[in-house]
Structure 1
Amino acid sequence: MSLARFTVCILLMFVASPLAWGQSSVPGLYDARVQVESQADDERRRATREGLEQVVVRMTGQREVLGDESVRDLVRGADRYVQQFGFETRETDDGDQLELRLRFDGQALQRALAEREISVWVEADRPRVLIWLAIDRAGDRELVGGDTALDVQQLVRDGARDAGLPVLMPLQDLEDRQRLSSSDVWGGFRGPILEASARYRAEVVLVGRLDRRGQEFAGRWLLFRDGETQEWSATDEELDAVLAAGTSGAAERLARALGRRPGERVVGDFTLQVDGLQGLADFTYVHRLLGETRGVGGVDVLRADGETLYLRIRLEGDSDRFIRDVEQGGRLERVRSDSMTSPAADAPTVDLGFRLRG
């Protein structure tokens, strides 16, 4: 196949095959589930308002926002923001429990909060959080992750989902065990923890230690971000409540730092040049990688010239964060303009240049 014909096939493939790029990095951000006593209309409306409160807290990262009169007014009209709902029976230790499952219109809610001048913690600004958790079970300490304490890991993920926090747990493989001990995590020793975290490329590290004191569980939490450390603690008779205090506490602190007032959101189109592509697999890889990078709302192929691909992306968020995510996410590396392949005379003006590593 000639180079010209191959290039035409590449462009036709991307035009003829619309894909859902730029999907949410926080699954379930606009979903809620609420226990109900029945499927009666009054009970459904009550639960819908409660579900919207869950989503608003998740969108803003701040529970106190529910005290704002304009937000209370928004919640009173919760039905208008519902996209889907349904009832489901779930088995629990206390017997079958009826739940209302809801999905709200995220874009409409963002507009409604903007009109009320409420800060929103946009998905593009939600960093991935690595969680190191040490548990003391009657004097025997263990690190949670890998195949260890799977029940606790699920509770952590449930709490993170409710807080709208993208998280990952350590693998607890040989490399982790060699680099970090349960004593390091229990003591909150920043140096060893961050060294062991480097392999995961997480922007934020959440460290917890958990033990039982009488009838209560006690947890201490540390948040490492940008050279700063924040600390808080929680006690409760229920294990899930103490774990949720860790993920929700991290979400609240990150939202205060990263939430944006209406009008502060950075949205723009950027043209990218990517060099070093060798065939169809490389073209597909680059397109998929960019489309799945958080903050990217769309990817359009502008032109393909031999080993060079020109694309336009719709970016919501900080361009420096986008560059860092792309470089950490795979085989693309940023290059200076004088290191890029010389463009053809009619090639588009380029904002950012990358090269595909082999």
Structure 2
Amino acid sequence: MSFALRAICLVILLGGLLPVALAQSAPEAVLVPVADESESARDRALGEAMNVMLVRLTGDAAVTGTDLAERLRASAERYLVGFSYRAADEDAGMRLAVRFDETRLRGALGEAAVAIWPAPPPTVVVWLAVEQAGERFLVDGEQGAALRERLRAAAASSGLSLLFPLMDLRDRRDLGYADVAGGFADPVRAASARYAGEAVLAGRLRISDDGAVAARWLLLPGAGEPVNRWQAEAGGTGPALASAVGVLAERLRPVYAYVPDPEAGRRVALTVAGVESLADHRRLQGYLEGLTGVERVVTTAVSGTQVRMQLAVSVDEARILEALARDERLGEADDGYRWR
């Protein structure tokens, strides 16, 4: 056994099989307008920030109109981690940056039987085809970059994480403008496999000279789920992308959102070979922690280059196994998986 793997074993033994938990980073701030620094203005802004946070956790804009949301707004300070005032430009005005205790809010939603996104939330691979001013292109880091960032921001407000392809030689070889614009599911699904997202969204935006948008969307929600298609029109790219995110969240919620059950204690056991160094172990652990629905990763044993791990999950085991099967970094082995 290498020195690095002995170090892994030593950590496990000294910690009494100490759970290797997800890193607890500071909760992401919610930014909302605030009139001034008075207490009354701050209280109103805290209520609005609570609305933003509830939509982010649930993906459901209608949650803000419920009795539960009203109670949570009224008691927003109970869930408050901290806040600060931020100056903005003259048009935007002052902003209040609010940080809530996400774990407590998730617990409150679970007690009220409100479905929430798993942590981390579903990752959606996005392909965008754009037709504008006589030009047709697939959005990448240069062409259509502003559209990409606007869509990413809209998705974040609904608690969704977007992953845009690299658009390197491999992507351009595997998928063309016509595949995305035409909504052909098979080539879109095949080209997306390298990114291991939970779902795939492909859209075609036809932008007129006056800014009006005619959009066509294809959603592949996940293995075994039916293909979704829809069309929409809007007066501009902002409304068109916001509308698409609304439909996206609505159609992914039945697949991925869940009502937390603290008594469920779901666990998934994995055996992974090919872990030859401490660096390999860290990369594997980080990968597993990043899977949607994985709340904690525990290394339970190390034997040679083989590692046994236990995952505490908030989604069905089948969802985790599907994600593992899609990722190129793991290959199936006789007794589990092999890290590549």
State TM-score, norm by structure 1.
Answer: 0.80
| 2:234 corresponds to 1:235 | yes
Taking structure 1 as reference, are residues 144 and 294 closer, same or farther at Cα in structure 2, changes over 3 Å only?
same
Taking structure 1 as reference, are residues 23 and 132 closer, same or farther at Cα in structure 2, changes over 3 Å only?
farther
* Aligned residue identity for 2:79: Y
Q: How far is the alpha carbon of 1:131 from its aligned partner?
A: 1.4
Taking structure 1 as reference, are residues 56 and 229 closer, same or farther at Cα in structure 2, changes over 3 Å only?
same
Q: What count of residue pairs does the alignment treat as equivalent? A: 333
SS of residue matched to 1:354: strand
CA distance in 2, matches of 1:289, 1:154: 25
8 Å CA contact 1:266–1:318 kept in 2: the answer is no
8 Å CA contact 2:196–2:323 kept in 1: the answer is no
8 Å CA contact 1:48–1:78 kept in 2: the answer is yes
The alignment's C-alpha RMSD in Å is 3.2
Taking structure 1 as reference, are residues 41 and 198 closer, same or farther at Cα in structure 2, changes over 3 Å only?
same
Which blocks of at least 5 consecutive residues in structure 2 are unaligned? none
Taking structure 1 as reference, are residues 234 and 190 closer, same or farther at Cα in structure 2, changes over 3 Å only?
same
Q: Which residue number corresponds to residue 210 of structure 2?
A: 214
Taking structure 1 as reference, are residues 122 and 69 closer, same or farther at Cα in structure 2, changes over 3 Å only?
same
Q: How far is the alpha carbon of 1:97 from its aligned partner?
A: 2.6
Q: Which residue number corresponds to residue 181 of structure 2?
A: 186
| 2:37 corresponds to 1:42 | no
RCO (CA 8 Å, sep 6+): is it higher in 1 or 2?
2
CA distance in 2, matches of 1:181, 1:282: 35
CA distance in 2, matches of 1:134, 1:28: 36
Q: How far is the alpha carbon of 1:42 from its aligned partner?
A: 1.1
1:244-285: per-residue Cα shift (whole Å, max 9, x none)? 222232112211333223549953244443334434444444
Map of 1:1-358 to 2, 5 A cutoff? 3=1, 8-13=6-11, 21-22=21-22, 31-91=29-89, 95=91, 97-123=93-119, 126-210=121-205, 211-212=207-208, 214=210, 216-225=212-221, 226-237=225-236, 239-263=237-261, 267-329=265-327, 331-335=329-333, 339-340=334-335, 353-357=336-340
Taking structure 1 as reference, are residues 355 and 172 closer, same or farther at Cα in structure 2, changes over 3 Å only?
closer
SS of residue matched to 2:229: strand
8 Å CA contact 1:133–1:144 kept in 2: the answer is yes
8 Å CA contact 1:22–1:294 kept in 2: the answer is no
1:300-354: per-residue Cα shift (whole Å, max 9, x none)? 333333333333332322222223334444543344xxx44xxxxxxxxxxxx33
SS of residue matched to 1:261: coil
CA distance in 2, matches of 1:356, 1:176: 24
Q: How far is the alpha carbon of 1:213 from its aligned partner?
A: 6.2
Q: What is the aligned-residue identity percentage? A: 29
8 Å CA contact 2:33–2:94 kept in 1: the answer is yes
Which blocks of at least 5 consecutive residues in structure 1 are unaligned? 341-352
Q: Which residue number corresponds to residue 346 of structure 1?
A: none
SS of residue matched to 1:84: strand
